[in-house]
Amino acid sequence: MPKMSGAQALLESLERQNVDTIFGILGGAILPVYDALYDNKKIRHILARHEQCAAHEAEGYARASGRVGVCMATSGPGATNLVTGIANAYMDSSPIIALTGQIPTCGVNSSYMIGRDAFQEADILGITTAITKYNYQPQTVLEIPQMVTNAFHIATTGRPGPVLIDLPKNVQTNIAEVEFTDKHNIRSYRLPQPPDLTKISQAAELLATAERPMLLVGGGVILADASNEIVKMSDLLMAPVATTFMGKGAFPESHPLSLGCIGMHGNPAANRIIGEADVLLAIGTRLSDRATTNLDTFAEGAKKIQIDIDAAEINKNVEVDLAIISDAKVSMEMLLTAISEKLKKGKGKAWTTRVKEVKEQLSPMLKEAPRGMTPKALLSELRKLLPASGIITTEVGQNQMWSALYMQSLQPRTFISSGGLGTMGFGFPAAIGAKVARPDSIVVDIAGDGSFIMSEQELACSVTEDIPVIVMVLNNSVLGMVAQWQRTLYSRRYKAINLGKSPDFVKLAEAYGAQGIRVASIDEFKKAIKTAMTSKVTTVIDVPIGSETDVVPFVPPGCGLPEQRGDY
């Protein structure tokens, strides 16, 4: 057995999990790992400029690629700065591993030990218990290989999520004869059994005999790589497909039966049709408040079937008639076979005709784009210029909801946004992470001015680490979404929403060594995107838009999905 330090054992264990990148910032308590990285040839370290962004970068990497994203920080403030990023990954079920340095468990100087409030000590295990799928702290070097194997197993299987490993400094430096293992050994962690055949059969019967079946697809479908099965199911049942915000990209939005996203700022066609369906198949979605709005009227005419890998999601938010606890891909394959056997003749055309009619009447994409620099016109142009494999990330707020409404997603893993936690500042670092995972894809962060400045310092990271992405700042000089709420729900009593004209985004980009372009027309915007797509450095495009442009339509709090309001 090889003799090595805990830090070396960690890196060797990460390599065995095919880790090729770590996003991180160093500090005293994690220095031994960085010292081991000095000799490492396989793992690329990307120096973030804030630990929160390191975690978002790891998540962007994970969501663009389907692999595990890894971030690293020192103890104390380094670790606590990761917290928002970890919470974001937890809410959106993204597999990331967070590595943190920690004060030693023992040593010569007893005041520099865990539990004595030493310099840069924080109880990161306690702090992250509620926002990680699991967390670990090895007490000896020998525990490290098994812990890393188990951590990756937990992060990637079942419902994925973040796992944190807190590394006391003496465990990083101690030397031991280390044995590596690729076999996980967590007896208390059990994955779902294959789906219950009776339930598959019952679901197949309901769907095969439905007159107005509809599919509602969440982020779980992307995680389970089940997009093809969804397309097949839609074709087989002639069923329209809506996605949740997190499911965007799981079903090609160019498909004639695509309804786009449901929800508070969803596509009105999706919000209307869900109220007319007689059987609703929800796959890989927790049916969150933003997707369902008023629970009493949510898909009230439909028998509801829910497929989820997490048993705790069944009946948590919405009571369903039939539940299948399973991986989405496995159960969809079984359902496809079972339905094909039951479906004697093709479905009638009445339902698809109705879907087409509602789409023509309500879908924003089928209405003519208003002239000028409107979000819809801008995003429609961006869609035309961006290849189908191009990756969109978004910030949070109006920019995000406009992206959901107007930026069609054609492939899974090409739309990456902070859905559950709603973290402003997520999009730019996520874009950097996505670009590292898929360097051949063009990556565009659709940003707002308010969100972008929350992680603008990562321009330094993208420039120095040679990770060119495009940031398109929809610049309305206000915190737009809260301004919209104050405008519509608080009688225009605007408070604390004004951002003024600061900063100058072109100068800001240039200060970091990136490219800055300000555009004043759609034509200039198209030209800027084309320039940015071939640029070797990150480009920030400042796109001024009206400060009173609303995201419409909108389901006011307390109302049901079909009660959307606002001209659009």
Partner 1 sequence: MESGKTKIISVLVENKPGVLHSIANLFRRRNFNIESITVGATQQQDIARMTITVNADEKTLDQVVKQVAKQIDVLKVEELESGNFVMREIALIKVEVTDSKTRSDVINFVKVFRSRIIDISPDSLTVEITGGPDKINAFLNLMKTFGVLELARTGITALARGAKSIKIDD
Residues involved in catalysis: 51, 119-120, 169, 481
Q: Toward partner 1, which CB reaches closer, 5 or 285?
A: 285
* Cis peptide preceding 503, ω within 30 of 0: yes
Tokens of 317: 């938010």
Nearest to 208 by CA among 346, 349, 301, 351: 346
Considering the rule CB under 8 A, would residue 312 count as an interface residue with partner 1? Answer: yes
According to DSSP, residue 547 is labeled T
Tokens of 193: 């059994």
Per DSSP, the residues of 336-374 read HHHHHHH--SPPPSHHHHHHHHHHHHH-GGGSPPPSSS-
Quick one: which segment of 40-48, 87-95, 308-316, 371-379 binds partner 1 (CB under 8 A)? Answer: 308-316
Quick one: which segment of 127-135, 227-235, 295-303, 546-554 binds partner 1 (CB under 8 A)? Answer: 127-135
Nearest to 166 by CA among 110, 127, 227, 124: 124
For residue 286, the minimal CB distance to partner 1 (Å) is 12
Looking at 20, 205, 276, 310, which residue binds partner 1 (CB under 8 A)? 310
Kind plus residue range of the DSSP H or E element containing 474: strand 470-475
Q: Are 467 and 53 in contact (CB under 8 A)?
A: no
Per DSSP, the residues of 172-209 read HH-EEE---------TT--PPPSPPHHHHHHHHHHHHH
For residue 126, the minimal CB distance to partner 1 (Å) is 7
**Binding residues for partner 1 restricted to 131-190, rule: CB under 8 A:** 133-134, 154, 186-189
Site string for partner 1, 488-507 (x = CB under 8 A): --------------------
Site string for partner 1, 259-298 (x = CB under 8 A): ----------------------------------------
Length of the chain: 568
Total of residues contacting partner 1 (CB under 8 A): 17
Looking at 43, 47, 125, 506, which residue binds partner 1 (CB under 8 A)? 125
d(CA 320, CA 326): 15
Considering the rule CB under 8 A, would residue 311 count as an interface residue with partner 1? Answer: yes
Q: Toward partner 1, which CB reaches closer, 24 or 284?
A: 284
Q: Are 444 and 417 in contact (CB under 8 A)?
A: no
For residue 75, the minimal CB distance to partner 1 (Å) is 18
Looking at 232, 255, 316, 347, which residue binds partner 1 (CB under 8 A)? 316
Nearest to 568 by CA among 559, 558, 555: 555
For residue 134, the minimal CB distance to partner 1 (Å) is 5
Cβ-based neighbour number of residue 177 at 10 Å:
10
Quick one: which segment of 30-38, 263-271, 313-321, 487-495 binds partner 1 (CB under 8 A)? Answer: 313-321
For residue 173, the minimal CB distance to partner 1 (Å) is 23
Q: Toward partner 1, which CB reaches closer, 135 or 363?
A: 135
Tokens of 289: 């408040």
Q: Toward partner 1, which CB reaches closer, 311 or 460?
A: 311
Dihedrals φ, ψ of 542, to 5°? Answer: -90, 115
For residue 524, the minimal CB distance to partner 1 (Å) is 49
Looking at 26, 124, 239, 314, which residue binds partner 1 (CB under 8 A)? 314
Quick one: which segment of 7-15, 108-116, 125-133, 466-474 binds partner 1 (CB under 8 A)? Answer: 125-133
Tokens of 340: 């094909």
For residue 363, the minimal CB distance to partner 1 (Å) is 36
DSSP 3-state of 263: coil
Considering the rule CB under 8 A, would residue 383 count as an interface residue with partner 1? Answer: no
Quick one: which segment of 107-115, 225-233, 305-313, 427-435 binds partner 1 (CB under 8 A)? Answer: 305-313
CA distances from 478 to 49, 399, 566 (A): 25, 12, 21
Q: Toward partner 1, which CB reaches closer, 56 or 133?
A: 133
Q: Toward partner 1, which CB reaches closer, 75 or 267?
A: 75
Q: Which residues pair with 102 in a beta bridge?
A: 168
d(CA 173, CA 301): 62
Q: Toward partner 1, which CB reaches closer, 21 or 128?
A: 128
Q: Toward partner 1, which CB reaches closer, 315 or 498?
A: 315
The 3-class SS string of 297-337 reads: CCCCCCEEEEEECCHHHCCCCCCCCEEEECCHHHHHHHHHH
C-alpha of 16 from chain center: 26
Considering the rule CB under 8 A, would residue 89 count as an interface residue with partner 1? Answer: no
Residue 228 CB partners (closer than 8 Å, separation 6+): none
* Cα-Cα end-to-end distance for the chain: 67
Nearest to 272 by CA among 34, 561, 566, 38: 561
d(CA 359, CA 363): 5
Quick one: which segment of 114-122, 314-322, 359-367, 391-399 binds partner 1 (CB under 8 A)? Answer: 314-322
Q: Toward partner 1, which CB reaches closer, 142 or 311?
A: 311
For residue 193, the minimal CB distance to partner 1 (Å) is 14
496: left (phi over 0), alpha (psi -120 to 50) or beta: left
For residue 129, the minimal CB distance to partner 1 (Å) is 5
For residue 160, the minimal CB distance to partner 1 (Å) is 13
Q: Toward partner 1, which CB reaches closer, 112 or 189?
A: 189
Considering the rule CB under 8 A, would residue 315 count as an interface residue with partner 1? Answer: yes
For residue 19, the minimal CB distance to partner 1 (Å) is 21
The residue to which tokens 């990148």 are assigned? 21
Q: Are 127 and 135 in contact (CB under 8 A)?
A: no
Quick one: which segment of 16-24, 124-132, 167-175, 379-387 binds partner 1 (CB under 8 A)? Answer: 124-132
Q: Toward partner 1, which CB reaches closer, 96 or 404?
A: 96
**Binding residues for partner 1 restricted to 187-216, rule: CB under 8 A:** 187-189
Interface residue list for partner 1 (CB under 8 A)? 125-126, 129-130, 133-134, 154, 186-189, 310-312, 314-316
